[in-house]
Amino acid sequence: MVVIQMITEAALLEQFNGSLQLRKLSLAAPGRQEILVRMVSASVCHTDIAAIEGEFGRLIPLPMVLGHEGAGVVEAVGDGVKKFKKGDRVVLSVVVHCDNCRNCAAGRPSACENFNEIAFGGGLNDGSKRLSLDGRQVSHFFAHSSFSRYAVVPENVVVHVPDEVQLEKLSVLSCGVQTGSGAVMNSGIPLGSKLAIFGCGGVGLSAVMGAKVIGAREIIAIDVADERLSLARELGATEVINPKKLDAVERVKSISGGGVDYAIECVGRTETIVQAVDCLRPWGTVILVGVPRRGTKIEFDFFSLFRATVRGCVAGFANSELFLPLLISLNQEGKFPFEKLSPGSYRFEEINRVASNASLDFS
Ligand SMILES: [Zn+2]
Ligand SMILES: [Zn+2]
């Protein structure tokens, strides 16, 4: 099929705090090293909700089609695409990257120096847009815009999916699951380490599953909701703490015999970030995954950081071309049951009712 221009039904954000409007948009053919994907499923991430609520403000140019988690089938490829062909089954990755900066050259795509521009700037990797409405250009989000029946995306965010794997359940891998599990699995954490994981939403629970995969000796999950803590136990947490009932730092130190080797902070609140640092043993590492509001300042006691390492983590330090197939294989082996995180699937038309982590079905 030679695609020049097509029409796609997409969920358009025209103003912050507004609802998403299903509209028929024009979608240009994939350009060089771009791929046209027919979406089979997309998932809603907290970052999409934050974008709707205006959290990114002028950083993202409206109108825009959101969505940065998706799985589907390749319909057409642009010039220069070598790894994909029509009919391939794929999942998209949130690890957008330029392939040109020093970090990309060093094999660290999640640290791409052009990440913000690609993710939030509204264009694809070359800055241009493929979506339009009545001649007016429409922005992409994370170079995906998966809240659309069809999307044109850069080849370097597309990952092959084996034939036997259901595409319907895979879109959650794109961002949340990859981020949480990658923060643990891609951090070089030694076998037998003790971990505390703050926050048991989709990202934190993915960190719990990742901790089990890498053979952590203690996996202490912390959350204010008991039902999320019981799911954390089911997924591998060895201890759980509800900080509404107990002092989290004291309890972590008591369970771990003086502090944990790694604290994974997946909430993004100043209190929990400080607590994550405070529950480390000397020489411990805190990995910051949760994202506070822009401009947030955090105050630490110097001595809590004196013998600590602090690492910020975007997109699970992942090289998705390697990491997503690993997660899919672990899932097939029953060692990484990420489908337990999804609160269910909704029809695309119901997008305005959908909460974080839920999936959209385009059938
Ligand atoms: Zn996300
Ligand atoms: Zn780069």
| Residue-wise pLDDT tens digits, 266-317 | 999 999 999 999 999 999 999 999 999 888 999 999 999 999 999 999 999 9
Bridge-based pairing of strands 70-77 and 194-198 is unpaired
| pLDDT (average), residues 140-146 | 97
- The whole-chain average pLDDT of the chain stands at 95
CA of 60 to the centre of ligand 1 (A): 15
In tens, the pLDDT along 12-24 reads 999 999 899 999 9
Residues 249 and 337 in one domain: no
Task: Tell me which H or E stretch contains 222.
Answer: strand 218-222
Tell whether omega for the bond before 282 is within 30 degrees of 0, i.e. cis.
Answer: no
| Residue 245's CATH number | 3.40.50.720
CA of 299 to the centre of ligand 2 (A): 31
Ligand nearest to the Cα of 156, by number: 2
Residue 345 scores a pLDDT above 80? yes
In a domain, residue 181? The reply is no
Residues 28 and 123 in one domain: yes
The amino acid sitting at 32 is: R
Residue 2 scores a pLDDT above 60? no
Ligand nearest to the Cα of 96, by number: 2
CA of 111 to the centre of ligand 2 (A): 7
In a domain, residue 182? The reply is no
Say if residues 9 and 23 touch (Cβ distance below 8 Å).
yes
SS3 280: strand
SS3 118: helix
Give the whole-angstrom CA distance, residue 296 versus residue 163.
Answer: 44
Residue 9 scores a pLDDT above 90? yes
Residues 100 and 146 in one domain: yes
Ligand nearest to the Cα of 93, by number: 1
Which residues are found with C-beta within 5 Å of the ion, ligand 2? 97-98, 101, 104, 112, 114
Residues 277 and 135 in one domain: no
Vertex 230 angle, CA 215 and 244, to 5°? 110
Residues 290 and 192 in one domain: yes
Crossing angle between the packed helical segments 202-213 and 226-235, to the nearest 10 degrees = 20
In a domain, residue 103? The reply is yes
Which domain range does residue 209 map to? 188-312
Cα-only R_g, the chain: 20
The amino acid sitting at 25 is: L
The amino acid sitting at 216 is: A
ipTM of model over 0.90: yes
Backbone dihedral angles phi then psi of residue 245, each to the nearest 5 degrees: -110, -30
